């Protein structure tokens, strides 16, 4: 049956009244140092505690909760650490209601006050309506906003208009260890009956204008090793009579991309989707203040001067980034070493319709060609260590309409329809394994600083975001009336 008149107003009023309690819960969750990146027993205990707290919260909402043990993680140094359980929770099973599955993660990036935080990273601290703390926006705040929306219906003794499933993990920042296997295993059990999948693990491109995300780039990550021998050399004793590995590597890395950002690997642009006039128009309406973005990023000049070009080069063209060199001398001082073995690391962000194995062949072929022309006596080995495909959704899927309507109700504006230049592998995994509509519904503002020092979520985003999810449930239900 249709929701009672005035329900939306009551839900919003309740969320406004409860906002301090909702912020307090976020504070409690941020206080748990659930860092999945630093593989220490202490952080793993914190992660397991985080998952237990979340499971308990969901149980208290009446959900049936399964904390799935996925075993342990073997680290390269021989250490074995437990993988925090993945939470599979279900609330409601009304046969006439749509079922929406929400994915989120409760692990965080490392954070220490000494890294340049202005407040304690694990103490949620409010300054001018900004809630600073590690995990505030990535991703504890959005997970709690979803839970706040559910608890609001319950507090008002209103029937939830949708069946809800939660999949919450604790290893996202460490590569979502064991998640894909679990999704595959649960395809016909937990995920059966799921109509829609929603992820809220990215940001708007604006400070104030909400967004819906329908695509992300993928990533192919490479290592290129150049080796003469396993030990370093003295450059007074060997300098001038060797092919130096670092000189080879610098030439190899220098052959990858030119100063305008154009990738120099032959064939790399062959499969990039061609740009249509219709698509070009999409970029014009996006609310990105390029000057503000450039200034707040402390960058003197971007490679492109217009908003449209910048967005296209973040979302729909590949990019090549050089990340580092293992084995290089990188300390202060003037050590006169010649490294005997160095490993360069770079990655290429993939866009529709690029394919990671084709890119792998192109990269290897190009580097072998450059290396052979140097006539070096060193050995070169290239490996693709990660091949994550891009994700793109159909924005005509009905949940996109529900999200747009809910955004209009809560924020009084149409959303920016955006893509994300980074990679959220789970979106593509869900799309391929479950075969249902996937959408990203971010809550955080462009300046939230995920992964950075002074990460924050605005109180406004967190509270209006909780309303957004409540309104979204009602809109989804309307699609199925
Ligand atoms: N806004 C969400 C960002 C998620 C993120 O940072 N993802 C990583 C994933 C990745 C890609 N290659 C290796 N890890 C990213 O760098 O995009
Ligand atoms: Zn995240
Ligand atoms: Zn993250």
Note the Cα 424 to chain centre separation in Å. 4
Lowest mean pLDDT among 108-112, 173-177, 232-236, 329-333: 173-177
Alpha-carbon distance 99 to 473, whole Å?
10
Overall average pLDDT of the 106-127 stretch:
97
**CB distance 427 to ligand 1 below 6 Å:** no
Overall average pLDDT of the 317-332 stretch:
97
pLDDT at 3: 72
pLDDT at 4: 76
Alpha-carbon distance 218 to 425, whole Å?
7
Overall average pLDDT of the 251-255 stretch:
98
Burial (CB count within 10 angstroms: exposed 0-12, middle 13-18, buried 19+), residue 150: buried
Any residues with CB less than 8 A from the CB of 329 and at least 6 apart, and which?
Answer: 335, 337, 339
CB 387, CB 220: distance < 8 Å: yes
**Does position 148 have pLDDT exceeding 70, yes or no?**
yes
**CB distance 443 to ligand 1 below 6 Å:** no
Which ligand is nearest to the Cα of residue 202, counting in written order?
A: 1
Residue 128 assigned as binding residue: no
**CB distance 376 to ligand 1 below 6 Å:** no
218-273+316-388, CATH topology level: Alpha-Beta Plaits (3.30.70)
Any residues with CB less than 8 A from the CB of 338 and at least 6 apart, and which?
Answer: 232, 233, 234, 235, 238, 239, 242, 244, 245, 246
Domain spans of the chain?
7-216+390-479, 218-273+316-388
pLDDT at 76: 83
Q: Report CA(175)–ligand 1 centroid distance (Å).
A: 9
CB 472, CB 403: distance < 8 Å: yes
Residue 474's nearest CA partner among 5, 6, 8 is: 8
Residue whose token pair is 């319950």: 154
**CB distance 201 to ligand 1 below 6 Å:** yes
pLDDT at 75: 86
**CB distance 216 to ligand 1 below 6 Å:** no
Mutation test residue for ligand 1: of 105, 201, 219, 419, the one with most atoms within 8 Å of CB: 219
Residue 365 assigned as binding residue: no
- State how far the alpha carbon of 142 is from the alpha carbons of 31, 386, 458, in Å: 16, 28, 11
CATH class of 7-216+390-479: alpha beta
Residue 3 or residue 321, greater confidence: 321
For ion ligand 2, residues whose CB falls within 5 Å: 138-139, 201
**Does position 120 have pLDDT exceeding 60, yes or no?**
yes
Which residues have a catalytic role annotated?
107, 172
Which ligand is nearest to the Cα of residue 142, counting in written order?
A: 2
């Amino acid at each position: 049956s249709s929701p009672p008149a005035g329900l939306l107003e009551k839900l919003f009023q309740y969320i406004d009244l409860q906002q301090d309690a909702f912020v307090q819960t976020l504070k409690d969750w941020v206080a748990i140092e659930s860092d999945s990146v630093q593989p220490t027993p202490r952080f793993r205990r914190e992660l397991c505690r985080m998952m237990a707290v979340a499971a308990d919260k969901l149980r208290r909402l009446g959900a049936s909760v399964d904390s799935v043990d996925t075993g342990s993680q073997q680290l390269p140094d021989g250490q074995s650490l437990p993988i925090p359980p993945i939470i599979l929770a279900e609330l409601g099973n009304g046969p006439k209601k749509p079922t929406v599955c929400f994915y989120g993660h409760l692990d965080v990036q490392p954070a220490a006050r000494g890294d340049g935080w202005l407040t304690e990273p694990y103490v949620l601290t409010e300054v001018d309506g900004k809630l600073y703390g590690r995990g505030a926006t990535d991703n504890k705040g959005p997970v709690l906003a979803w839970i706040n929306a559910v608890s609001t219906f319950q507090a008002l003794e209103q029937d939830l208009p949708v069946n809800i499933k939660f999949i919450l993990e604790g290893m996202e920042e460490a590569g979502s260890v064991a998640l894909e296997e679990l999704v595959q295993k649960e395809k016909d059990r937990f995920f059966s009956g799921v109509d829609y999948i929603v992820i809220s693990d990215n940001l708007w491109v604006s400070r104030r204008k909400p967004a819906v995300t329908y695509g992300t780039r993928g990533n192919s990550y490479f290592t290129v090793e150049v080796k003469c021998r396993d030990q370093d050399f003295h450059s007074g004793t060997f300098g001038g009579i060797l092919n130096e590995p670092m000189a080879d590597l610098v030439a190899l890395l220098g052959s990858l991309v030119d100063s305008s950002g154009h990738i120099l690997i032959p064939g790399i642009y062959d499969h990039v989707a061609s740009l249509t006039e219709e698509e070009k128009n999409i970029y014009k309406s996006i609310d990105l203040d390029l000057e503000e973005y450039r200034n707040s990023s402390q960058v003197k000049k971007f490679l492109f001067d217009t908003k449209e070009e910048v967005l296209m080069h973040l979302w729909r063209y590949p990019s090549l980034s050089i990340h580092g060199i293992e084995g290089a001398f990188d300390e202060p001082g003037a050590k006169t070493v010649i490294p005997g073995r160095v490993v360069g690391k770079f990655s290429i962000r993939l866009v529709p319709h690029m394919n990671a194995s084709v890119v792998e062949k192109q990269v290897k072929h190009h580097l072998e060609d450059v290396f052979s022309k140097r006539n070096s006596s060193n050995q070169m080995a290239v490996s693709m260590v990660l091949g994550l495909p891009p994700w793109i959704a159909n924005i005509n899927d009905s949940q996109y309409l529900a999200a747009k309507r809910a955004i209009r109700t809560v924020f009084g504006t149409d959303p920016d329809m955006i893509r994300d230049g980074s990679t959220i592998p789970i979106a593509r995994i869900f799309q391929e394994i479950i075969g249902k509509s996937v959408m990203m519904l971010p809550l955080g503002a462009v300046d939230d600083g995920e992964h950075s020092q002074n990460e924050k979520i605005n109180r406004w985003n967190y509270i209006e975001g909780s309303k957004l999810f409540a309104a979204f449930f009602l809109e989804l239900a309307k699609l199925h009336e």
